[in-house]
Structure 1
Amino acid sequence: MSYSETKADAHTNDTRTAADMNTFLRLWFAKFEEFQDNDFFVAGESYAGVYVPLVSQAVMDGNDAGQEPRLRLRGYLVGNGVTDAEFDGDALVPFAYGKSLISEELYEEAMASCGGSFWNASAGTACDDAITSVYQAVAGLNIYDVLEPCYHGHNPYTQADQLGAAVASHRRWPLLGGLHDGPVTGLVQLLGQLGHTPPCLDSREMWAFCNDPAVRRAIHAEPIEKIGSFDECTNGDRIHYTHDRGSMLPVHRDLIGRGLTALIYSGDHDMAVPHTGTEAWTSWLGRQLGVERPWAPWHTADHQASCVAGYTVHYRGLVYATVRGAGHMVPETNPAEALELFSRFLAALRV
Structure 2
Amino acid sequence: MSAIKLRNTHYQYDVILQTGYIGVGELEAVQLFYYFIESERSPEDDPLVLWLTGGPGCSALCGLVYEIGPLSFDYAKSSAGGEPVFALNPYSWTKIANIIFLDAPAGTGFSYSTTLEGYDVSDTISAAQTYEFLRKWLVDHPEFLTNPLYVAGDSYSGIIAPIIVQEISDGNEVGDQPTMNLKGYVLGNPVTDDEIDTNSIVPFAHLKALISDELYESFMKNCKGEYLNPDQSNASCMEHILAIKECIGKLFTGQILEPLCKTISPKPITLKLNPRFLIADDTDILLSSPHVPRPWCRHFNYVYIYKWANDETVQDALHIRKGTKKHWERCNKTLAYSYNVKSSVDYHRNLTKKPYRALIYSGDHDMSIPYIGTHEWIESLNLTIKYDWEPWFVDGQVAGYTMLYAYNELDYITYDLRFATVKGGGSHSAGIQARAVPCHDR
TM-score (norm 1): 0.79
SS of 1:107's equivalent? helix
TM-superposed CA distance for 1:133, in Å, is 2.3
- How far apart, CA to CA, are the structure 2 residues paired with 1:32 and 1:289? 36
* Structure 2 match to 1:292: 386
1:98 and 2:207 aligned? yes
Give the secondary-structure state (helix, strand or coil) at the position aligned to 2:186: strand
Aligned mate of 1:249, from 345, 368, 387: 345
Which of residues 370, 376, 399 in structure 2 aligns to 1:309? Answer: 399
Letter of the structure 2 residue corresponding to residue 137 of structure 1: C
- For 1:318, what is the secondary structure of its paired residue? strand
Q: For the residues of structure 1 that align with 2:249 and 2:359, how far apart are their CA atoms? A: 31
| 1:320 and 2:410 correspond | no
Aligned to 2:327: 229
1:282 partnered with 2:391: no
How far did residue 68 of structure 1 move? 0.7
The match for 2:250 is 140
> 1:58-77 residue pairs with structure 2 within 5 A?
58-77=167-186
Equivalent runs, 1:159-198 vs 2, <5 Å: 160=280
**Distance in structure 2 (CA, Å) of the matches to 1:248 and 1:159:** 29
Quick check: 1:310–1:322 contact (8 Å CA) kept in 2? yes
Equivalent residue for 1:80, pick from 159, 166, 189: 189
The Cα of 1:326 is off from its aligned counterpart by 0.5
Which of 127, 144, 159 is residue 18 of structure 1 equivalent to?
A: 127
Partner of residue 47 from structure 1, selected from 128, 151, 156: 156
Give 1:323-338 correspondences, 5 Å limit. Answer: 323-332=422-431, 334=432, 337-338=433-434
Asked whether 1:30 is paired with 2:139, we answer: yes
CA distance in 2, matches of 1:24, 1:226: 19
Deviations 1:282-308 (A, max 9, x none): 2232xx1111011000112x4x2xx01
Runs of 4+ with >4 A deviation? 161-165
Q: CA deviation at 1:280?
A: 1.5
Residue 440 of structure 2 corresponds to: 346
Change (3 A) 1:96 1:39: same
CA distance in 1, matches of 2:430, 2:176: 33
Name the counterpart of 1:191. none
How many pairs were matched up? 301
1:265 corresponds to which of 361, 364, 385: 361
Deviations, residues 124-149 of structure 1 (Å, cap 9, x unaligned): 53333322321222121112111234
Contact 1:262 1:318 in 2 (8 A): yes
CA distance in 2, matches of 1:269, 1:164: 25
Q: Take 2:284 and 2:221, find their aligned partners in 1: how far apart are those partners? A: 30
Q: 1:85 to 1:77 in 2, by over 3 A?
A: same
Looking at structure 2, the residues matched to 161 and 310 of structure 1 have their Cα atoms a distance apart, in angstroms, of 32
After superposition, the C-alpha distances for 1:196-246 in whole angstroms (9 at most, x for unaligned) are: xxx9733222222222233223223357x863333222223xx21112122
CA deviation digits over 1:37-75, x for unaligned, max 9?
Answer: 111111100001111101100101111111011001011
Root-mean-square deviation (Å): 2.4
Q: Closer, same or farther in 2 for the Cα pair 1:60/1:200, shift >3 Å? A: same
| Secondary structure, aligned partner of 1:74 | strand
User: Aligned to 2:307, which of 202, 208, 216?
Assistant: 208
Whether contact under 8 Å (2:152, 2:161) holds in the other structure is yes
Shift of 1:274: 1.1
8 A Cα contact 1:150 1:200, kept in partner = no
Q: Distance in 2 between matches of 1:125 and 1:201?
A: 38
Shift of residue 163 of structure 1? 9.7
Post-superposition Cα deviations, 1:5-64, rounded to whole Å, max 9, x if no partner, equal 310011001111111111111111112111111111111000011111011001011111
For 1:119, the equivalent position in structure 2 comes to 228
Report the structure, 1 or 2, having the larger strand content: 2
Per-residue deviation, 1:161: 5.5
With over 3 angstroms needed to count, the CA separation of the structure-2 counterparts of 1:121 and 1:163, relative to structure 1, is farther
Higher-helix-fraction structure? 1
Contact 1:59 1:71 in 2 (8 A): yes
- Post-superposition offset of 1:159: 7.8
**Aligned amino acid, residue 251 of structure 1:** Y
- Tell me if the contact between 1:267 and 1:324 (Cα under 8 Å) persists in the aligned partners: yes
SS in structure 1 at match of 2:434: helix
- In terms of mean alpha carbon deviation, does 138-147 or 61-70 score higher? 138-147
Gapped runs of 5+ residues in structure 2?
1-109, 268-272, 286-296, 407-415
Tell me, in whole angstroms, the C-alpha distance in 2 between the residues paired with 1:339 and 1:29: 28
TM-score when scaled to structure 2? 0.63
Percent identical pairs in the alignment equals: 36
Cα pair distance change 1:144/1:68, threshold 3 Å: same
Q: CA-to-partner distance for each residue in 1:262-295, whole Å, 9 max, x for gaps?
A: 111100011111112112212232xx11110110
Retained in 1: the 8 A contact 2:405–2:418? yes
Q: Verify the 8 A CA contact 2:112 2:324 in the aligned structure 1.
A: no
Give 1 or 2 for the bigger CA radius of gyration.
2
Separation (CA, whole Å) in 1 of partners of 2:161 and 2:330: 20
Higher alpha-carbon deviation: 47-56 or 202-211: 202-211
For the Cα contact (< 8 Å) 1:142–1:200, is it kept in 2? Answer: no
